[in-house]
Amino acid sequence: MRIVPEVITLEFSNYGLQFRKKMGEEYRKKIKNVICEMGCDKKPCNMEALSSLTSFIDLPYEYEVASKYAGEYGLSLYLIDMDAFSYLKLRKAVEMFDDDNIRKVLSGPAPAGDSEKAAARLFFEKGVKLSPYDDEMYVRDKYMSDRISVLMKHQAHKRFLHICGWQHLEDPYGLYAPLNPLKVFVYDKTVCI
């Protein structure tokens, strides 16, 4: 399947982007210092836990790919998720990146495998839901679908690509339905944009 977008929207907030740009390097340095104190540079530490910790402050892969693509082709990229929910999630970073917590995470058991991907496969292949579509999802989807609608009204002649997490593809209230989306679950298909 080949999709040739002219405008890209992304389930990511401006607050989330600015937070990671501002604090990411500081938190990486804290992790590196704790690793050196623990001697993990000489003996192995829990690499899966380390990866999980750094993924919290890294720029999301979807943002990096969409940003690069938009830049190469001169397209607009809109971050359309709600800053308020990003703020609530990211305020946990102070506790998460406390030296003692970093030590606990790096010396603890490995996190379970790729549970997110497994949950997505169960939903799309078997119709099994492991997490409910909650009020937060509804509020965020309503907000994002409204923002996309406004953008589409001002750029009606352009083809839009919205990149979101797999949970948003369910759309049980039909919030995205008026936009007439073609939904693609990327774990199942190779999508070339």
Can you give the pTM of this predicted structure?
Answer: 0.84
The answer as to whether 186 is a domain residue is: no
Sign of the C-alpha dihedral computed for residues 12, 17, 20 and 25 taken in this order: positive
- In angstroms, the CA 176 to CA 142 distance is 8
The answer as to whether 134 is a domain residue is: yes
The answer as to whether 2 is a domain residue is: no
Tokens of 49: 């836990």
pLDDT tens for the 193 residues of the chain, in order: 577 899 999 999 999 999 999 999 999 999 999 988 888 766 667 788 888 889 889 999 999 999 999 999 999 999 999 999 999 999 989 899 999 999 888 887 655 555 677 777 777 777 777 778 899 999 999 999 999 999 999 998 999 999 998 888 888 999 999 998 887 776 554 444 4
- In angstroms, the CA 139 to CA 6 distance is 27
The answer as to whether 125 is a domain residue is: yes
The answer as to whether 187 is a domain residue is: no
The answer as to whether 1 is a domain residue is: no
Backbone angles phi, psi at 79, to 5 degrees: -90, 115
The answer as to whether 188 is a domain residue is: no
Number of domains in the chain: 1
Q: Buried b vs exposed e over 47-72: b needs ≥16 C-beta within 10 Å?
A: eebbeebeeebeebeebeebbeebee
The answer as to whether 144 is a domain residue is: yes
Which pairing describes strands 76-79 and 7-10: parallel, antiparallel, or unpaired?
parallel
Closest CA to 120 of 174, 153, 154, 168: 168
Range of the domain at 168: 7-179
